[in-house]
Amino acid sequence: MTGDEGRILLAQGREAEVFLQADGTVLKLLRNPEFEVLVRREATALDVVRASGHGGPTVHGIVTVDGRPGLVMDRVEGADLLTALGVRPWLVYRTGAVMARTHVAMHECVAPDSLPDLREELRFRIEGAPDLAPELASYALGVLEGLPSGDRLCHGDFHPGNILGPWRRPVVIDWGGVSRGDPDADVARTLLILRIRGAGAPPGTSMPLRLLIPIGRDLLAHRYLSVYRRMRPLDRDLLDRWQVVWSAARFFEGQFSDDIKREFPGLTKIIHRYR
């Protein structure tokens, strides 16, 4: 498949572009030709979520466009929760509750063996992070050795910008980092994204939300964690240790984003806090 063939660009990010096609489906097209494995993981995750009755777009196939891997699926109507917060920031409590309920439902899903093991993924990232100090990498790898495996569906990048659709039945998108693992690890990743100091606002964030970020991050994280705990038990010690590991692994992502590099001082503080 080549050319734009009448496609309309709907959204774009660091890793992919999303196009509306003439037949009403959407094409998520990754920028890096080497990332076909991420497309296949996303297709697998969406099939699992739909089979479990939690909703999500139907996948119509994996394609290649001008050498770039892509995923064709149904379009999900509605804005993401981050955009909704930008328009109505007073809905931060509702957003946190919706996030928690959606995440708990995700963690009810048993992940297929074809998905990568989360612990192995994190080990790979920590060992391959060029800007992570060797002593911090060694410490994080030691912490990782003592953390549990799991068999649940873990999104790996669960935050308001990746949740679309109606409040009562939201749809989670961007499953390229999906894995099989411990749900507490996935919660720890979300808390890290919400709370990390120095993190820039995602592309497209409105000015009202940018001004509220210093307060809003903590408020949203607190509400999300509180509601999640009511629905599913969490181990506080495990969460802390998983955040150490995720903080170290986040350095790997800095190779691809200057925004993430600005998080490095905050990530380093988190690792030192638990040493």
Same domain? 149 vs 49? no
Instruction: Choose one of 20, 41, 73: the last residue of a domain.
Output: 73
CA-wise closest residue to 81 among 216, 196, 187: 216
Query: What is the CATH number for 136?
Result: 3.90.1200.10
Query: What is the CATH number for 66?
Result: 3.30.200.20
Residue 205, SS3 per DSSP: coil
Same domain? 86 vs 49? no
- Confidence at residue 198, expressed as pLDDT on a 0 to 100 scale: 47
Q: How many CA atoms lie within 13 A of 45 on its CB side?
A: 26
228-237 contacts at long range (C-beta below 8 A, 24 or more positions apart) = 228/100, 228/103, 228/104, 228/187, 231/100, 231/101, 231/104, 232/104, 232/107, 232/183, 234/184, 234/187, 235/184
Query: Percentage of the chain surpassing pLDDT 90?
Result: 71
Same domain? 157 vs 210? yes
Whether residue 3 lies inside any domain: the answer is no
32's CB contacts (< 8 A; 6+ apart) are 15, 68
Instruction: Choose one of 24, 40, 73: the last residue of a domain.
Output: 73
Whether residue 1 lies inside any domain: the answer is no
Instruction: Choose one of 73, 89, 108: the last residue of a domain.
Output: 73
Rounded Cα distance between 267 and 275, Å, is 13
Whether residue 212 lies inside any domain: the answer is yes
Rounded Cα distance between 22 and 38, Å, is 25
80-129 pLDDT per residue, tens: 998 888 788 889 999 999 999 999 999 999 999 999 999 999 999 999 99
Whether residue 210 lies inside any domain: the answer is yes
Rounded Cα distance between 235 and 247, Å, is 18
- Confidence at residue 252, expressed as pLDDT on a 0 to 100 scale: 96
> Region 223-250: what's the mean pLDDT?
97
Same domain? 61 vs 149? no
Q: Which residue has the higher pLDDT, 5 or 214?
A: 5
Same domain? 185 vs 237? yes
The total number of structural domains that make up the chain: 2
Same domain? 234 vs 148? yes
Same domain? 45 vs 174? no
Please give the structure tokens belonging to residue 172: 């989670």
Is a pLDDT exceeding 60 seen at residue 199? no
Rounded Cα distance between 254 and 270, Å, is 16
Same domain? 200 vs 168? yes
Whether residue 190 lies inside any domain: the answer is yes
Same domain? 54 vs 115? no
Task: Find the range with the poorest average confidence among 58-62, 141-145, 186-190, 271-275.
Answer: 271-275
Name the burial class of residue 62, with classes exposed (0-12), middle (13-18) and buried (19+) by CB atoms within 10 angstroms of its CB. Answer: middle
What pTM value is reported for the model?
Answer: 0.90
Phi-psi region of 19 (alpha: psi -120 to 50; beta: other; left: phi over 0): beta
Whether residue 2 lies inside any domain: the answer is no
Same domain? 65 vs 134? no
Same domain? 23 vs 113? no
> Region 215-240: what's the mean pLDDT?
93
147-185 pLDDT per residue, tens: 999 999 999 999 999 999 888 889 999 999 999 999 999
Whether residue 130 lies inside any domain: the answer is yes
Same domain? 129 vs 206? yes
Q: Which residue segment(s) compose the domain that 25 sits in?
A: 8-73
